[in-house]
């Protein structure tokens, strides 16, 4: 039996990789994938705890997260495509229209 | 809880007076933009109707009591103990009437001079009127604050949309200045609300006694709001800008009503709510008043702009009002209230008069005039009466107010009285200088052939002339409204009698 | 309706009629309402009020309550006692004659109705002033006459000098009224009322009381009296506030005669006499009144010697005579002061109207451009000489009796101040006939020196036509002007006969009549002394006339030589002791400089506006810096979020 803490470790590792990727990569697709990593880290957490606590609600929530992630990926990729068409770039640091 | 006299009339008169202009504004809202004449007539009709309705207050008012009259009270937001609570007493009633009268004059004077966004202009004027009357009638702090702040919005628009070249700066300055003061007052109101066991009822709050330190803090919080509105020195600098840039009607509303609210606030709230603090702060208030009187008068001597000069003269005249109020004796207080009325009539009239020539010449520069008495003799005669009233000549209303204030001020503090008297000398100086530059001497080429006042303009000024002379010759018909209320107010404030205060010492303390 | 109420309100009605209908309806008939009203007031005064006052009946009635505020209560009310009656006679008589004269003088002026409207308003205010039974009404009339004076001095308002002069008169008077107003406040604070009767009845009660006034302990009666006197100094053009009166001659001549000679300027004397119960309590105040009066009298008489403007000479003469009246009041001889006020009204109004007649004919004010007018204007000449003899105090004329009474009272008061002012008054007795006769000789005798067309541009008659006014155009004024002159001349001779002193076989009826109001001073003098004083002043007066004749008839080149010889003194006198310049550079200029360069430029624009605009500026700067945090890069926001989350988690863990 794999102990709960191992799942947690895995989850943290994936999450931190996601955060690092989100903060450090310039390519918007990779940034996007990093966000997906963070979401999946959360999913691992939810499911492992759900099993540990013998409570189905965690798994239900994980499905919601997957659904939201899918929707978010669809919208996000659409934005990326729109951005690429307008700016001919996929680098985040070149998109700073909101600079104050 | 204090006794009040409920409204005995068959209809809620105060609500009618407050909401008739709103009704008119709604009516204008649904008229077609191209029907400008109809818009004007609706505005005129509504304001006249409001005034006629408000005349009932004048005739039916019971002068023998200080109690609130024509009172209406309905529960509004019961959870927070907020009521729709209206009433007038001898201090506020005259301002209700003056506001209603001013609305008519503002509509009349703008008849031809406002050409853009006519609909919106008259809506703004009517809404301002309604909110101003609301301020004077409110007996519930929440309602009061609502009207107090609501009034700023149409006024801001009037200055900012229909004003002169520098209108945006003036409008924002006016708005921010007054808002900063008001917000401090809001804090004060909330403190009172919590301290008094969740009540916004002004009359109920007045019956309570507050700890001295709290009174002191609240006095200054309220002072911030009222001093800006008055405007007292040194927070007066919004006034010249706002007056100068505002259209004629805006200047008139500002001069006649809006800046009265500060002084009214002192009378209605500061004195009865914080009597000990008010008494303790008298030297400071008298000092500020005297500075305002002299400073405002001296600065007028150096003005080149017609409206700016009259605006600064307001600072001086309102200095007299605050001097009278903080003299804390009956002559000073009644003189102060009467002078508020007088200043509304006279300065309002002066701004109306300036508007009349401004429509013809589109110049506010004093140097652009000269010899106008030859070109527009009737206009010159009207302007002379208002000039004399402003100078405080016996027989005009200005004299009665200033005399009572100076008498009261002199009784409270001789030095303050004497110094304030010098303001009268300088006042004569700048007003006569102004009159000479504009009406006397060689005719300036720029004004040759100007038509004299037409019927509409004459009708606008005649009621004010009547008031100038009426108050000047028989002031009792107005003073008699105040006696009971002022007496009551003084009893509240002067539990320990008037104290002799040494202003010089206070100045020295401030300097140190 | 009481009959005496008509006295002030008839002119008020005339004013209202004229101001409403004068321009469009009445036009060149605008004088009718005004004249009818003032003549009506005159007849009521003579037929009803004067006999009642002579019978010793005093009317003191309130018309209505003017102002009530707490214990402060004043009414519009009327007091008619002998003093009021005298003033009423003076005012209505002079006003009637001058109104009639003005019909001729102002004929054809484009502001005809305006002139008569103001004159009526003035008459109303003046009558309210003298008839009031309280200080507030006095103040009402006081300011009201000042206002009309302002209007009428600035009557030719398109002329800058006239507009300036009107303004100057008003503002200088305000300086006096400043003190007067405070005096009224002090009276209210002391007595709790402003009505004459209770104030004067209780006046004696404040003797010796002191009051803290602006940090000093001062004697209460002295303080009140001196404050009130401030107002009189302004209104009656006494040193140092005399500067407005000569300038006031910019107004039409009938105005100068009525307002600036016969009535308004004497209001100060009237007020001092009216308040005699207060003044009597304070020796300091009395001495101040006497010395100010004597100083003014001498001071302005010396200025009058060198002036060339016919009206200004008479104006300085007015100051001088007013000074004599104050001198009389100051030594306690109020009756003598009022007596001089009464005779002065006739001869000085006559002088002005005669001068107006001259100006009407030659269209200039400068006596250096006149001369030899005797043969063209015999009536004017005759009345001018009568007025001058009366003003100069030549025995037999009314001016002599009143002036002699004053000088004798000063001498007989036996205080050192009394003796001092007696000396000054005697000196004045020399100057007065000298400058008056200098004026006559230069105007009516010798050769006509005018006729330069360019000199006529600034004629006092307003209509600035520069046409050639040759000698042959000069003619006597119309009857509507000469008849009032003749009537006034009768007054100038005979008005004083009601007050002939006992020593000359008279009954001193005038002083007896006023005795109930102003009392009678104690005289310390023998008959011989009285004869001596009278003889001395008579000789001095005659020598003044003689010297004037010598200078301006016999040795006409002498005055110029003397002026050259003593050019220093001459220049000081010619420039009126540089008082105007002094005020200009010490009061007017600095005030305007402070207003413009300090208050507007520094205090308001830099300090207050600096703070007002500086606070939003500082907030703006702060937020300007703050907004740099917003880079627009999502990753930066992410870092901040992560850091924030870490911080909060750490905080929660640590604080648990």
pLDDT value at C266 more than 60: yes
Beta-bridged to residue B82, according to DSSP, are B77
Peptide bond into B234 cis (omega under 30): yes
Domains and CATH numbers, chain A: 4-87 (1.10.287.3510)
Token representation of residue B482: 């105040």
CA distance B92 to B54: 13
At A38 the pLDDT is 92
Q: Give the pLDDT band (50/70/90) at residue C534.
A: confident
Token representation of residue C83: 């003093």
Asked if residues C48 and C4 have their Cβ atoms less than 8 Å apart, the reply is: yes
Q: Give the pLDDT band (50/70/90) at residue B496.
A: very low
A56-89 exposure pattern, b = at least 16 Cβ within 10 A, e = fewer: eebeeebeebeeebeeeeeebeeeeeebeeeeee
In this complex, is the C-beta atom of C625 within 8 Å of any C-beta atom belonging to chain A? no
Chains C and A touch (3+ CB pairs under 8 A): yes
pLDDT value at C458 more than 50: no
Those chains having 3 or more beta-carbon pairs within 8 angstroms of chain C are A, B
- How many Cβ pairs within 8 Å bridge chains A and C? 33
* A 72-91 residues inside an 8 A Cβ radius of C: none
CA distance C119 to C374: 31
- Residue C442's contacts (CB-CB under 8 Å, 6 or more residues apart) are C367, C368, C370, C371, C552
Q: Which residue does chain A place closest to C634, by CA atoms?
A: A92
By the 10 Å C-beta count (0-12 exposed, 13-18 middle, 19+ buried), B3 is classed as: exposed
In this complex, is the C-beta atom of C62 within 8 Å of any C-beta atom belonging to chain B? no
- How many Cβ pairs within 8 Å bridge chains B and C? 147
For C449-469, what is the mean pLDDT? 46
CA distance A81 to A87: 10
Q: Do C68 and B411 touch (CB under 8 A)?
A: no
Of the ranges A9-18, B288-297, C142-151, C482-491, the best mean pLDDT one: A9-18
In this complex, is the C-beta atom of A41 within 8 Å of any C-beta atom belonging to chain C? no
Token representation of residue B196: 């008094």
Q: Do B474 and C64 touch (CB under 8 A)?
A: yes
Q: Do B302 and C188 touch (CB under 8 A)?
A: no
Chain C residues whose beta carbon lies within 8 Å of the beta carbon of residue B404: 67, 69, 72
Shortest Cα distance, chain C CAs vs residue B144, angstroms: 27
Q: Give the pLDDT band (50/70/90) at residue C471.
A: low
Question: At what angle are helices B330-361 and B476-493 packed, to 10 degrees?
Answer: 130
Asked if residues B159 and B171 have their Cβ atoms less than 8 Å apart, the reply is: yes
Beta-bridged to residue B283, according to DSSP, are none
pLDDT per residue as tens digits for the range C131-176: 988 888 898 888 888 888 888 888 888 888 888 888 888 888 888 8
Question: At what angle are helices C82-105 and C334-362 packed, to 10 degrees?
Answer: 0
Q: Do B395 and C214 touch (CB under 8 A)?
A: no
CA distance B210 to B207: 10
Query: How far does chain B reach from its first CA to its final CA, in angstroms?
Result: 44
pLDDT per residue as tens digits for the range B100-147: 999 999 888 888 888 888 888 889 999 999 999 999 999 888 999 999
- Residue C381's contacts (CB-CB under 8 Å, 6 or more residues apart) are C373, C374, C444
The better pLDDT of the pair C180, B511 is held by C180
The better pLDDT of the pair B193, B511 is held by B193
In this complex, is the C-beta atom of C635 within 8 Å of any C-beta atom belonging to chain A? yes
Q: Do C67 and B476 touch (CB under 8 A)?
A: yes
**Chain centroid to CA C405:** 23
Chain C residues whose beta carbon lies within 8 Å of the beta carbon of residue A95: 632
* C 142-171 residues inside an 8 A Cβ radius of B: 142-144, 147, 150, 154, 157-160, 162-164, 166-167, 170-171
Chain A residues whose beta carbon lies within 8 Å of the beta carbon of residue C642: 19, 23
- Residue B465's contacts (CB-CB under 8 Å, 6 or more residues apart) are B349, B382, B385
CA distance A29 to A34: 9
Nearest to A96 among C628, C633, C642 (CB): C633
Q: Give the pLDDT band (50/70/90) at residue C653.
A: very high
């Amino acid at each position: 039996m794999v102990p709960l803490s191992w799942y947690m470790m895995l989850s943290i590792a994936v999450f931190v990789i996601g955060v690092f990727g989100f903060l450090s990569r310039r390519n918007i697709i990779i940034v996007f994938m990093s966000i997906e990593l963070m979401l999946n880290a959360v999913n691992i957490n939810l499911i492992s705890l759900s099993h540990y606590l013998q409570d189905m609600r965690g798994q239900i929530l994980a499905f919601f997260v997957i659904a939201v992630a899918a929707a978010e990926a669809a919208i996000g990729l659409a934005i990326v495509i729109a951005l690429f068409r307008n700016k001919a770039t996929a680098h985040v640091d070149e998109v700073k229209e909101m600079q104050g | 809880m204090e006794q009040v006299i409920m409204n005995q009339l068959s209809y809620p008169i105060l609500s009618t007076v407050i909401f008739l202009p709103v009704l008119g504004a709604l009516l204008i809202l649904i008229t077609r933009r191209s029907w400008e004449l109809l818009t004007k007539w609706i505005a005129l009709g509504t304001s006249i109707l409001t005034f006629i309705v408000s005349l009932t207050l004048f005739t039916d008012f019971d002068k023998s009591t200080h109690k609130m009259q024509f009172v209406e009270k309905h529960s509004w937001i019961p959870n927070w103990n907020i009521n729709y609570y209206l009433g007038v007493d001898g201090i506020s009633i005259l301002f209700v009437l003056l506001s209603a009268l001013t609305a008519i004059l503002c509509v009349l004077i703008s008849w031809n001079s406002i050409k853009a966004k006519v609909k919106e202009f008259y809506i703004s004027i009517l809404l301002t009127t309604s909110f101003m009357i609301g301020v004077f009638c409110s007996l519930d702090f929440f309602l009061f604050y609502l009207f107090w702040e609501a009034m700023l919005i149409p006024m801001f628009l009037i200055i900012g949309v229909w004003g002169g070249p520098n209108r945006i700066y003036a409008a924002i300055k006016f708005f921010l200045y007054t808002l900063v003061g008001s917000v401090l007052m809001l804090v004060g109101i909330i403190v009172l609300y919590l301290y008094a066991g969740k009540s916004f009822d002004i009359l109920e709050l007045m019956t309570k006694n507050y700890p001295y330190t709290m009174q002191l803090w609240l006095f200054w919080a309220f002072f911030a709001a009222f001093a800006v509105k008055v405007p007292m020195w040194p927070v007066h600098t919004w006034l010249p800008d706002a007056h100068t840039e505002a259209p004629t009607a805006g200047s008139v509303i500002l001069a006649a009503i809006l800046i009265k609210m500060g002084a009214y606030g002192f009378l209605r709230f500061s004195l009865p709510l914080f009597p000990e603090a008010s008494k303790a702060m008298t030297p400071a208030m008298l000092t500020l008043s005297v500075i305002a009187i002299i400073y405002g008068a001296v600065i007028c001597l150096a003005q080149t702009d017609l409206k700016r000069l009259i605006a600064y003269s307001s600072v001086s005249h309102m200095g007299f009002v605050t001097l009278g109020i903080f003299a804390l004796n009956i002559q000073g207080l009644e003189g102060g209230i009467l002078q508020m009325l007088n200043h509304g009539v006279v300065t309002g009239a002066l701004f109306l008069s300036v508007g009349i020539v401004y429509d013809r010449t589109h110049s506010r520069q004093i140097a652009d005039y000269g010899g106008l008495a030859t070109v527009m003799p009737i206009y010159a005669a009207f302007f002379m009466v208002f000039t004399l009233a402003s100078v405080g000549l016996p027989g005009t209303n200005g004299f009665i107010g200033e005399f009572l204030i100076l008498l009261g001020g002199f009784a409270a503090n001789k030095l303050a009285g004497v110094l304030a008297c010098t303001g009268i000398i300088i006042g004569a100086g700048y007003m006569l200088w102004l009159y000479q530059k504009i009406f006397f001497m060689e005719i300036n080429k720029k004004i040759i052939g100007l038509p004299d006042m037409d019927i509409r303009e004459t009708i606008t000024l005649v009621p004010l002339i009547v008031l100038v002379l009426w108050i000047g010759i028989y002031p009792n018909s107005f003073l008699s409204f105040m006696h009971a209320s002022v007496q009551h107010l003084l009893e509240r404030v002067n539990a320990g009698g008037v104290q002799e205060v040494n202003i010089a010492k206070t100045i020295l303390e401030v300097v140190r | 309706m009481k009959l005496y109420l008509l006295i002030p309100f008839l002119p008020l009605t005339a004013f209202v009629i004229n101001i409403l209908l004068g321009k469009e309806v009445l036009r060149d008939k605008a004088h009718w309402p005004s004249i009818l009203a003032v003549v009506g007031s005159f007849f009521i005064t003579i037929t009803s009020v004067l006999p009642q006052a002579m019978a010793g009946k005093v009317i003191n009635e309130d018309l209505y309550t003017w102002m009530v505020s707490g214990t402060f209560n004043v009414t519009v009310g009327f007091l008619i006692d002998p003093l009021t009656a005298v003033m009423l006679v003076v005012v209505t008589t002079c006003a009637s004659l001058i109104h009639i004269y003005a019909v001729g003088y102002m004929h054809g002026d484009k502001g005809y109705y305006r002139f008569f409207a103001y004159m009526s308003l003035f008459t109303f205010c003046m009558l309210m002033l003298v008839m009031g039974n309280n200080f507030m009404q006095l103040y009402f009339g006081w300011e009201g006459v000042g206002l009309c004076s302002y209007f009428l001095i600035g009557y030719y308002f398109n002329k800058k000098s006239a507009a300036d002069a009107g303004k100057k008169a008003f503002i200088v008077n305000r300086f006096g009224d400043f003190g007067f107003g405070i005096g009224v406040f002090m009276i209210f604070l002391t007595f709790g009322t402003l009505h004459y009767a209770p104030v004067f009845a209780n006046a004696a009660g404040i003797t010796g009381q002191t009051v803290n006034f602006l940090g000093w302990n001062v004697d209460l009666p002295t303080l009140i009296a001196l404050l009130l006197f401030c107002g009189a100094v302004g209104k009656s053009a006494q040193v140092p506030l005399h500067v407005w009166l000569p300038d006031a001659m910019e107004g039409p001549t009938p105005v100068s005669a009525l307002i600036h000679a016969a009535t308004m300027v004497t209001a100060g004397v009237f007020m001092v006499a009216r308040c005699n119960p207060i003044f009597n309590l304070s020796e300091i105040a009395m001495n101040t009144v006497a010395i100010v009066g004597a100083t003014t009298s001498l001071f302005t008489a010396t200025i009058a010697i060198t002036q060339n403007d016919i009206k200004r000479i008479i104006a300085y003469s007015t100051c001088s005579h007013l000074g004599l009246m104050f001198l009389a009041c100051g030594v306690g001889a109020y009756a003598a002061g009022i007596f001089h006020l009464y005779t002065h009204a006739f001869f000085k109004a006559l002088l002005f109207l005669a001068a107006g007649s001259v100006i009407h004919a030659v269209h200039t004010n400068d006596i250096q451009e006149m001369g030899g007018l005797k043969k063209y204007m015999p009536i004017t000449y005759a009345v001018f000489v009568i007025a001058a003899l009366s003003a100069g105090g030549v025995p037999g004329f009314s001016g002599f009796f009143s002036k002699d009474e004053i000088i004798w009272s000063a001498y007989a008061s036996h205080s050192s101040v009394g003796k001092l002012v007696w000396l000054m008054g005697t000196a004045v007795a020399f100057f007065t006939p000298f400058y008056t006769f200098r004026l006559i000789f230069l105007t009516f005798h010798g050769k006509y020196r005018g006729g330069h067309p360019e000199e006529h541009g600034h004629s006092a008659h307003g209509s600035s036509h520069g046409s050639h006014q040759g000698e042959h155009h000069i003619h006597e004024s119309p009857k509507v002007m000469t008849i009032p002159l003749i009537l006034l001349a009768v007054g100038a001779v005979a008005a004083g006969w009601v007050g002939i002193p006992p020593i000359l076989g008279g009954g001193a009826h005038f002083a007896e009549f006023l005795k109930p109001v102003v009392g009678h001073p104690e005289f310390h003098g023998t008959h011989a002394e009285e004869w001596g004083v009278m003889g001395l002043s008579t000789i001095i007066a005659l020598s003044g006339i003689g010297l004037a004749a010598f200078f301006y008839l016999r040795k006409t080149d002498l005055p110029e030589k003397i002026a050259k010889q003593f050019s220093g003194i001459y220049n000081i006198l010619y420039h009126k002791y540089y008082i105007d310049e002094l005020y200009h550079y010490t009061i007017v200029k600095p005030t305007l400089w402070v207003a413009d360069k300090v208050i507007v430029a520094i205090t308001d624009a830099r300090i207050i506006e600096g703070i007002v605009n500086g606070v939003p500026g500082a907030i703006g700067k702060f937020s300007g810096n703050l907004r740099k945090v917003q880079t627009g890069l999502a990753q930066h926001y992410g870092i901040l979020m992560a850091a924030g989350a870490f911080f909060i988690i750490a905080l929660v863990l640590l604080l648990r």
